[in-house]
Amino acid sequence: MKEIVAIIRPNKLDEVKDSLEELGCHGMTVTEVKGRGRQLGITESYRGSDYRIDMLPKTRLEIVVADEQVDNVIDKIVKTAQTGDIGDGKIFISPVEEVVRIRTGERGNEAV
Amino acid sequence: MDPVLNSGDTAWMLISTALVMIMTVPGVALFYGGLTKKANVLNTMFMSLIAFSIASIIWVLYGYQFAFGEDMLMGIIGNPANLLFSGIGVDQLSTLATTIPETVFIAFQMTFAAITVALISGAVVERMKVSSWMVFIAAWVSLVYVPIAHWVWGGGFLAQLGALDFAGGTVVHINSGVAALALILLLGKRKDTKLLPHQLGYSVLGAALLWFGWFGFNAGSALTAGGLAGSAFIATNTAAAAAMISWVIIDYLKTGKPTVLGAISGAIAGLVAITPAAGFVTVQAAVIIGLVTSVVSYLSISYLKPKLGYDDALDVFGIHGMSGLWGALATGLFAAPFINELGTGLFYGNPGQLLTQVIAVVVVAGYSFVATLIIGKVIDMVMGLRVEDKEEIEGLDINLHEETGYRI
């Protein structure tokens, strides 16, 4: 099992969610977060003065899937969240040792 | 005009009074509230709310009487014959607006005193103690606003000199702008001096309510429901519209994009600049006054402020002080006798009017600056002007009011 953490544009959430549903991947945890990448944010101008806004609003998705599904999920996220402009986000993948469904006590792939 | 009550005039003045009230609460409160940081939104709005209340009480108890009482001490102050509102009859007509009841004139002028002091708050937000602000309101309305209102509007020495100020270019805008500058010199800079509006949508609503209320402010200053009110109304709208366009053009030239804050800043600057001139100038002059004023305020905010290093948080001096200054001088240039027989400016053959306007500006700005410095210094020595560092960093809403604007 793997945990996929995807940082995406907030306005791409619905598209990503729908495309993952097509794969049968329903479970996810979504958080509104702030952050920045290599470009160090954007510039805003108020009454003629420029300010660098270096923490931008992003959406963080946490998804745990079985090993064989990982590539499909990543492909879907990349395809739907991509605009080609700076700020599209990143995906991080890490191994998951165990998953437990609290309602039933099931473990492993059954619980994902 | 015969001193006979005119119900049309009276109705218009009651409505105008209510319109000017809307300018302070919610107009200024929303306009300023949206421009501050999230953690200070309630404190910023409270400064306008409490200003309206304290100024209202002072005005009816003694402020009006000193400002508009019969002139005494060679034009310095009015004779307070009706202290504590005593002796003012329900049906008694105003001496300065002879077709409306005195009570209506008092109420109309009350809303001017309130908005003038509320305007100052925009410069000092995010760092001033709320207790000191309340004491400041009482002292400033009594010792600065009231005498200046007498000098210019109440028959005092500037009125006798022939100074023109239709609805408050000097009494309201230069006065509040310069007082704001004096107070921030005492307070010092905020720890974080950025202007990063937390909710610009509030400011758009606030500016729109200011614009709406300004029709009562300027057209109401005709004191009758007639042609002069109509002329002031259209001049007001024209200048605001021209100034918004002018600011947007500057934005385009500077950054290639029109900013929303620029658009509403321009509109406010235009409304400020036309205020002293509204009942004296033609629509064509209003266009010029509006187009020029955004340049004046923009340059002041973008170049003067950083160069001199004062922290005028929401640009009260830059917009009200500087556009008020331009408007007062423009009145001396553009006042047309066929609009209002009381005013003839330089372009209609009376260069002396411009000189009179300069004198009025210098006297009002000078007095407002020095008197505000003294009031501020005394408050600072007695109770302190500025909040603790910790309170400023954490935000004033939670520390001074034990409330937060947003629970999300």
Spatial contact of B176 and B117, defined as CB atoms under 8 Å apart: yes
Overall average pLDDT of the B305-332 stretch? 97
Cα–Cα–Cα angle for B308, B357, B249, rounded to 5 degrees: 55
Token pair 């100020």 is found at B165
Token pair 């259209």 is found at B234
Overall average pLDDT of the B329-350 stretch? 97
Overall average pLDDT of the B172-183 stretch? 98
Overall average pLDDT of the B119-143 stretch? 98
Instruction: Establish if A51 touches chain B: CB-CB under 8 angstroms.
Output: yes
Distance from CA of B182 to the nearest CA of A (A): 22
Closest to B152 in 3D by CA, of B381, B324, B395: B324
What's the pLDDT band for A52 if we cut at 50, 70, 90? confident
Give the number of A-B residue pairs with CB atoms closer than 8 Å. Answer: 31
Minimum mean pLDDT range among A50-59, B187-196, B220-229, B327-336: A50-59
Overall average pLDDT of the B74-85 stretch? 94
Closest to B196 in 3D by CA, of B387, B43, B385, B39: B39
Instruction: Establish if A46 touches chain B: CB-CB under 8 angstroms.
Output: yes
Angle between helices B322-334 and B175-187 (to 10 degrees): 160
Minimum mean pLDDT range among A22-26, B106-110, B200-204, B218-222: A22-26
Cα–Cα–Cα angle for B72, B75, B77, rounded to 5 degrees: 60
- Choose among B196, B257, B298: nearest Cβ to A48: B298
What span, in angstroms and rounded, lies between the C-alpha atoms of A108 and B368?
Answer: 76
Q: The tokens of A86 are what?
A: 């700076």
- The answer to whether residue B169 scores a pLDDT higher than 70 is yes
Which residues lie below 8 Å from residue B88, measured CB to CB, with a gap of 6+?
B82, B102, B103, B106
Overall average pLDDT of the B244-269 stretch? 97
Overall average pLDDT of the B321-328 stretch? 98
Overall average pLDDT of the B132-161 stretch? 98
Tens-place pLDDT, residues B11-34: 999 999 999 999 999 999 999 999
If you count them, how many residues does chain A have? Answer: 112
Q: Among all residues of chain A, which has the CA nearest to that of B319?
A: A47
Q: Is B320 helix (H, G, I), strand (E, B) or coil?
A: helix
What's the pLDDT band for B408 if we cut at 50, 70, 90? low
Closest to B169 in 3D by CA, of B296, B51, B37: B296
- The answer to whether residue A96 scores a pLDDT higher than 60 is yes
Overall average pLDDT of the B194-201 stretch? 95
What's the pLDDT band for A112 if we cut at 50, 70, 90? confident
Helix-strand-coil percent breakdown of chain B, rounded to 5?
70, 0, 25
Indicate yes or no: CB of B302 within 8 angstroms of CB of A45: no
Separation of CA B325 from chain center: 12
Q: Among all residues of chain A, which has the CA nearest to that of B254?
A: A48
Closest to B19 in 3D by CA, of B232, B198, B329: B232
What's the pLDDT band for B224 if we cut at 50, 70, 90? very high
What span, in angstroms and rounded, lies between the C-alpha atoms of A53 and B66?
Answer: 51
Dihedral over alpha carbons B239, B242, B248, B254 (to 10 degrees): -90
User: What pLDDT was estimated at residue A68?
Assistant: 92
For chain B, what is the mean pLDDT?
97
Which of A 4-43 lie inside 8 A of B, CB atoms? none
Spatial contact of B396 and B126, defined as CB atoms under 8 Å apart: yes
On chain B, the residues whose CB falls within 8 A of the CB of A46 are 195-197, 259, 261
User: What pLDDT was estimated at residue B237?
Assistant: 98
Distance from CA of B201 to the nearest CA of A (A): 14
Q: Say what the pTM is.
A: 0.91
- The answer to whether residue B1 scores a pLDDT higher than 70 is no
Spatial contact of B145 and B111, defined as CB atoms under 8 Å apart: no
Tens-place pLDDT, residues B30-58: 999 999 999 999 999 999 999 999 999 99
User: What pLDDT was estimated at residue A39?
Assistant: 77
Token pair 């709208």 is found at B237
On chain A, the residues whose CB falls within 8 A of the CB of B196 are 44, 46, 51, 53
